[in-house]
Amino acid sequence: MEFVHKSVLLKESIEELKIKPDGIYVDGTIGGAGHSSEIIKKMSSKGTLIGIDKDEDALKASKERLSQYPNVIYYHGNHDNLKEILKELNIDKVDGILLDLGVSSYQLDERNRGFSYLGENILDMRMDKEQELDARFVVNKYSEEKLANIIYEYGEERFSRQIAKNICIERKKAKIETTKQLVNIIEKSIPARFRTSDSHPAKRTFQAIRIEVNNEIEPLYKTITDSIDCLKSKGRLCVITFHSLEDRAVKKAFTSAEGKCICPPGLPYCACGAVKKGTIITKKPILPTKDEIEENSRSKSAKLRVIEKI
């Protein structure tokens, strides 16, 4: 299957990067190179683009798409480890970083990846196919309490406890191997009167399990602060999020980087050590236009936040 992904907030994110032709830029989730292809067009032969992705299929696709550009470095890894990656590449600071935190259309649609709740596919959900933890392990091995907590926290699913309970009941009868099996359990767990025509009942649970499998939220705050540290003065970090958990983590990291205390109210002194590292460019996130949403429904929940290093 061809790696196809329609980049979200493409025009807006490229504009906000303020690309310097001879600069060094990082696309921390290069995917099918949708954003990267526009970044590299604005760069000279003296510039460098570093494309990082956990998904080897994505890297392969981006290499093919950007084959005419010799000044691209491809790295199979995780943007959470950006500091270590740049150190390995002998690069101190960069001029801009883009993080598109969404799951690609290819990953959602590829049958063997198990991200989608449509059809009957093998439960997997790994962005990096070399890692051991997959969705089958989460669904079949996690305790009922842990499953319920994950589905509630990462999926914001009000029926998380009933879903977790029914998962545990069904897996005692037979191992849950496919997306269809899981969808059936979820549908059985949510009363019909609480289902809406504009959202699949399994959407929140699948999101939660995907986040758990790929550890998407826990390291995100540190990833953002590390990324800011890796920028040159006036360098920009652009982050595209697709759900509230991601957006809250990014917003919190940006607020901290702007030097504002993020300690809980009531503490007698500041414990977060807030120091001003940058200036938030987007006081409110940039949202997709009505036209983009009509053209690509998966862009509906996207938000772009931008910060500039001082």
Query: Mind listing the pLDDT tens digit for each residue in 211-252?
Result: 999 999 989 999 999 999 999 999 999 999 998 889 999 999
Give residue limits of the domains in the chain: 10-101+217-309, 115-214
Q: Which residues pair with 52 in a beta bridge?
A: 75
Query: Which strands make up the sheet holding 48-53, listed edge to edge?
Result: 72-76, 48-53, 24-27, 94-100, 231-241, 303-309, 278-280
Q: How many helices (H) and strands (E) does the chain have?
A: 13, 7
**Burial (Cβ within 10 Å: 0-12, 13-18, ≥19) of residue 256:** buried
Q: Measure CA 307 to chain center.
A: 18
Could you tell me if 175 and 155 are in contact, meaning their C-beta atoms sit under 8 angstroms apart?
Answer: no
All residues at 6 or more sequence positions from 193 whose CB lies less than 8 Å from its CB, including other chains: none
- The pLDDT of residue 1 is 47
Distance CA 211, CA 150 (A): 9
- The pLDDT of residue 294 is 93
Could you tell me if 252 and 262 are in contact, meaning their C-beta atoms sit under 8 angstroms apart?
Answer: yes
pLDDT along the chain (310 residues), means of 10: 70 97 97 94 97 93 96 96 97 97 67 80 90 96 97 94 98 96 96 81 94 92 96 98 92 92 80 87 96 91 97
10-101+217-309 has CATH 3.40.50.150 classification: yes
Neighbours of 270 (CB within 10 A): 10
Could you tell me if 257 and 225 are in contact, meaning their C-beta atoms sit under 8 angstroms apart?
Answer: yes
- The pLDDT of residue 110 is 64
SS3 percent helix, strand, coil of the chain, rounded to 5, is 45, 15, 40
CATH of 115-214, one of 2.60.40.1180, 1.10.150.170, 1.10.10.10, 3.40.1350.10: 1.10.150.170
Question: pTM for the whole thing?
Answer: 0.83
Query: What string of DSSP letters covers 187-246?
Result: HHHS-GGG-BTTB-TTHHHHHHHHHHHHT-STTHHHHHHHHHHTEEEEEEEEEEE-SHHH
All residues at 6 or more sequence positions from 84 whose CB lies less than 8 Å from its CB, including other chains: none
Query: Mind listing the pLDDT tens digit for each residue in 58-98?
Result: 899 999 999 999 999 999 999 999 999 999 999 999 999 99
Distance CA 89, CA 73 (A): 9
Distance CA 306, CA 283 (A): 9
Tokens in use for 280? 């938030």
| Residue spans of beta strands (DSSP E) within the chain | 24-27, 48-53, 72-76, 94-100, 231-241, 278-280, 303-309
